[in-house]
Amino acid sequence: MQNAISGFSKLSKTQKIDWLLETYFNNDESSRKLVTQYFNSDEKLQKLHDEFIENTITNFYLPLGVAPNFLINETLYTIPMAIEESSVVAAASKAAKYWLERGGFKAEVISMVKIGQVHFTYAGKKEDLLNFFTTVKSQLISDASPITKNMERRGGGILDIELRDKTEELDHYYQLHATFETLDAMGANFINSCLEQFAETLKLEAEKSLEGQLDIIMSILSNYVPDCLVRAEVRCKIEDLKDKDIPNPGAFAEKFKQAVSIAEVEPHRAVTHNKGIMNGIDAVVLATGNDFRAVEAGVHAYASKDGKYTSLTHCSIDNGEFCFWLEIPLALGTVGGLTSLHPLVKFALQMLGKPSAKDLMKIVAVAGLAQNFAALKSLTTTGIQQGHMKMHLMNILNQFEATESEKTQLVEHFKINTVTHSAVVEAISKMRK
């Protein structure tokens, strides 16, 4: 077994690569070349990226694509998407174009409340704690004022702090459940700093005036933000759904609605259905420098808020009108964090017209809805593989290091032949004979 290494983080980048080569690659210089060829020649830019995380050895590319023609609340957007899955951007672009011709997307932010909690235990009398909290609450807020004053000046800050009794679920467990308005910031640092200050005040004041033992367990924001909600929708008359893949719009609408209903009642399908939504959401969240893990965790928790995992989108057909919508929690920022550091994030945000956090919530929700529309449209009409394999063709060709001329010929060939991995391999081999 490989020996553990100590002090790895103190090594220089070159020393780290040396250690990796020696330990795992038999000092193979071609592996060094592989890793170092991803360095940016602009040293300042490279340093910026190196310092985003600890122990950086190189850059890991993801394609940044764009999906144009998104009409959202009467404004046209070109949406940036960072994603590796071959069909996602194409599907988004198709859905954008389809709905552009049918009035576009509508989106609204329903609420913007973020949440953080101080988790603590208290072994004394419940009543004493309740009284203590009533007296200490204003001090919790005032002690945090050095942290909150700038946010307050801009119109945000702490909205409220509640004491929550959780002792029925866990012995002696209570929490300060705090709500925040963080405006255009995602707010993680702001919220966590406030919470740590609340915890300090709580502990100090409890030592002075509470009999029972109060112990702080931890202070952290919650990524479950059911009151930071956005809704996106599309609607049109059933007959207007018609296009080349939808010769019978009435039958299509019914089948589409049925597909959504299946995801509403069947968790196995709901997970895949929502995964498709997240294809669109994560790609925009990542391209705009936001935390896609936080978004994923919060969105999936929301999908099970009523005790059973279900679809995030819904569909109705009323009075000859088709309506398809999505409602999700999204805690996003357009200032601070990576948004002001990563040059491509700045580029992406500028492309979106320097959106506020609210605008970005709408754009991201629309990207999710569009993605789900595209997936369900394919699944209920032509099937998904036709489009997927066409996109996958290029990946297979690249695996075989096809030349530009081979690519052109094979793309032409597969316009009329079914793409399967073996069919592509066979066609390349035949061509190369």
What are the catalytic residues?
A: 85, 275, 291, 388
219/279 with CB nearer ligand MEV = 279
66/379 with CB nearer ligand MEV = 379
Please name the amino acid found at residue 222.
S
Task: Yes or no: say if 174 and 199 are a contact pair by the CB < 8 Å rule.
Answer: no
272/395 with CB nearer ligand MEV = 272
290/380 with CB nearer ligand MEV = 380
Q: How far is the CB of 377 from ligand MEV (least distance, A)?
A: 10
Q: Among all chains, which residue has been given the structure tokens 């764009």? A: 66
Which tokens sit at 102?
Answer: 């049918």
Tell me how many degrees the CA angle 24-27-33 measures, rounded to the nearest 5: 100
Which tokens sit at 231?
Answer: 């809704």
Q: State which residue has the least CB distance to ligand MEV.
A: 276
Q: How far is the CB of 201 from ligand MEV (least distance, A)?
A: 47
Cα–Cα distance for residue pair 227/239, rounded to 1 Å: 36
Cα–Cα distance for residue pair 192/186, rounded to 1 Å: 12
Q: Which residues bind ligand MEV (CB under 6 A)?
A: 85, 272-273, 275-276, 279, 375, 379, 384
375/397 with CB nearer ligand MEV = 375
Contacts of 123 (CB under 8 A, 6+ apart): 172, 212, 213, 214
Tell me how many degrees the CA angle 390-392-393 measures, rounded to the nearest 5: 65
Cα torsion angle, 189, 191, 195, 201, sign: positive
Q: Among all chains, which residue has been given the structure tokens 């954008």? A: 96
Task: Yes or no: say if 177 and 115 are a contact pair by the CB < 8 Å rule.
Answer: yes
358/388 with CB nearer ligand MEV = 388
Residue 375's φ and ψ, nearest 5 degrees, are: -65, -50
Q: How far is the CB of 379 from ligand MEV (least distance, A)?
A: 6
Q: How far is the CB of 306 from ligand MEV (least distance, A)?
A: 21
Q: How far is the CB of 256 from ligand MEV (least distance, A)?
A: 12
Q: How far is the CB of 130 from ligand MEV (least distance, A)?
A: 48
Please name the amino acid found at residue 81.
M
